[in-house]
Amino acid sequence: MPIDPAAFNRLTQKIIGAAIEVHRSLGPGLLESTYTQCLHIELTARKLRFEAQRSVPITYKGVTVDGCYRVDLVVEDLIVVEVKSTLGILPVFESQVLTYLRLTGCPIGLLINFNVPKLIDGLKRKLNPRAHIPPGQSAPQWKQENL
């Protein structure tokens, strides 16, 4: 059964709230690494579990190839967060998030560009079209266990 993106609103709102707090305190124009470190502090303060720089191996036709990608953040094993500090959100950044969603199996991705006057203008939410509710679980059960 396909996922309901609304099931993740509460969690994505918490992540976006953390990002807004970082942006409100620091403003635009700093390095991505600075925003990422501060976002870690805010997510921790909000008691959200996350993994930074999650290694994602690449498998091609059943063979794991040398090298891997690193996802900036995976929050609560559900939400991929890609942090940027660029002049704008390019289509390739959105494609990158969609690829990370496919590789991790996470249902939702957030692309956050801190280099904007208003953070809301630097946010993109992406849905993994391949994510499904695990067999044997109803949508409400899956939502409660994973949010």
pLDDT in tens, the chain (147 residues): 667 778 889 999 999 999 999 999 999 999 999 999 999 999 999 999 999 999 888 888 989 888 778 899 999 999 999 999 999 888 889 999 999 998 888 999 999 999 999 999 999 999 998 876 555 554 434 444 444
Q: Where are the beta strands (DSSP E) in 46-119?
A: 50-60, 63-75, 79-84, 108-113
Tokens of residue 1, six digits = 């059964």
Helix (H/G/I), strand (E/B), else coil: 3: coil
**Domains of the chain, residue spans:** 5-129
Q: Please, which residues bridge with residue 108 across strands?
A: 79, 127
- For the beta carbon of residue 140, count every other beta carbon within 10 angstroms: 10
The rounded distance, in Å, linking the Cα atoms of 46 and 18 is 8
SS3 140: helix
What is the predicted pLDDT for the residue at 43?
Answer: 97
Does residue 98 contact residue 109 with C-beta atoms inside 8 Å? Answer: yes
Residues 125 and 15: beta-carbon distance below 8 Å = no
Residue 142 tokens, joined? 């899956």
Rg (CA), the chain: 15
pLDDT value of residue 134: 59
pTM of the model: 0.85
The answer to whether the beta carbons of residues 52 and 120 sit under 8 Å apart is no
Structure confidence at residue 141 (pLDDT): 43
pLDDT of res. 16: 97
